[in-house]
Chains A and B, each alone.
Chain A
Amino acid sequence: METIDQLKQLKNLHPSQEWLDATRYQLASRVFDEEKRSFWQWLKEPQFGALVFCVLLILVGGPWLLVKASETSLPGELLYSVKKVSENIQTSMASEETKSNLQVGFADRRLQELNKMADNSSAPVDTDEAEAEKVKQVVESFRNNLADASAYVGKASKDQAIVIARKTQKIKDELDKTKEGLALAELQTELAEAEEQIDAINYQILAALMDDEELSGPVSTSTDSTSTDEEIIIFLEDVGVEVVTTSTGEIIEVKKVEVEQSTEPAAEEVSESEE
């Protein structure tokens, strides 16, 4: 048929051989070169590294900065909720060993907050209801932290126990100051009970520390807080922690020293107690 014949004339449409060859070369280069520019090469390229760095910076840096900034926040401030959340996350992520230490650290934070709140407020605490409410909540958290610390102190390792001991001592000291700062009557009871909680923790710590030692005899069940403190001091000295005390044995400062040196209780400050 004529149409078909005419159509078939178009078969003569060919590309130039030059172009054909040139393109073939280009394609081949692209196709075979790809082997070299493999995925791993792309990873090494500086742009990828820069990208990763920026992403990490944002992902890690952002939250970290936020958490860091929230550490000094007080109840009522925006960042305080961030602080609470981050503490919760840390708690859930902590291993059983470290939970106690973590909680004691948080308890210390509560005291710091209380002290700051006392410093900040101009009016006495019991006249401002909102403020009083905040304070009560912090104290409650304080008790909770201590309760958690107590619950997990049994699982702490020896090293952890030592650190916890240091912290509890610190808390005990600050507790006195806090009691003065907060005039609220009902809180005094709370704080007194908190002190008992701390003693309980210390007692458990001592038991944990002495576990490895083959100290004979059961620990006296009627241990009052003073002798527990003393025993902890003694133990800590043994493991190379210098405990700075007054002549009555009250701990003012706890420092880590070389094990070999014999430590002497040095009186940095003499409290009103007599020699």
Chain B
Amino acid sequence: MKKVEFIKLYDQYAPRIYRYISLKLNSTHDSEDLTSEAFFRFWDKFGRKKKKVDYPQALLYQIAGNLVIDFYRKKARRTEVNMDPQDSVLRQIQGNVDLNRDVNLAGDLARVKTALGKIRPEYQDILIWRYLDDFSIKEMAQILEKSPGSVRILVHRALNSLKKEL
């Protein structure tokens, strides 16, 4: 992959990967770290080779997902000072939300995020990709190597799962 292409890939997907990761984590700092780490690793593994990469975004999500898993594994081994977990994320969301709206909305966002965090990781991913990243059913089917029908069903189940938590 060419270097310029890679930088363009970053520009296009960095916000999405960041969002994907920070929906699974609670600290901005960690989310930022893992996101940049994801891109560095992508470059190391795939960027340097001459071979063309088919679905670079799929690989990015994969790397990011693995980094999150590793992160939680490591975290389980240590005890961390627990700063108010929702604070930093919440502040970010608030910063982007129209302040004229009801303050409850911000609370709402936090609630959704928490709810999302409670469902299965596979369902989390499906929902993020479908409704936040705007992947089409067809695209997701290709990346996940499933039939479009299966993907639709997964989406349906994921939504139900989330609904229960809300």
Contacts and interface: CB of A to CB of B under 8 A. Distances in A.
B15 A14 contact: yes
A27 B11 CA distance: 11
A24 B7 contact: yes
A41 to B, nearest CB: 15
A10 interface: yes
Given A14-B92, A23-B14, A9 B32 contact: no
B3 to A, nearest CB: 5
A9 B96 CA distance: 11
Q: Is the interface of A mostly helix, strand, loop or mixed?
A: helix
A20 interface: yes
Contact of A1 (B11, B93, B159): B159
Interface residues of B, number: 38
Interface string B97-138: 100000001001100110010000000000100011000000
A8 B132 contact: yes
Contacts of A7: 112, 116, 127, 131-132, 162
Nearest to B48: A34
A217 B122 CA distance: 101
Interface string B5-22: 011001100110011001
A13 interface: yes
A140 to B, nearest CB: 62
B5 to A, nearest CB: 10
Interface in B20-53: 22-23, 31-32, 35-36, 39-40, 43, 47-48
Nearest to B165: A3
B36 A32 contact: no
Given A7-B132, A10-B113, A26 B15 contact: no
Contact of B39 (A9, A19, A27): A27
A158 to B, nearest CB: 57
A28 B7 contact: yes
Interface of B: 3, 6-7, 10-11, 14-15, 18-19, 22-23, 31-32, 35-36, 39-40, 43, 47-48, 89, 92-93, 96-97, 105, 108-109, 112-113, 116, 127, 131-132, 159, 162-163, 166
Interface of A: 1, 3-4, 6-16, 19-20, 23-24, 26-28, 30-32, 34
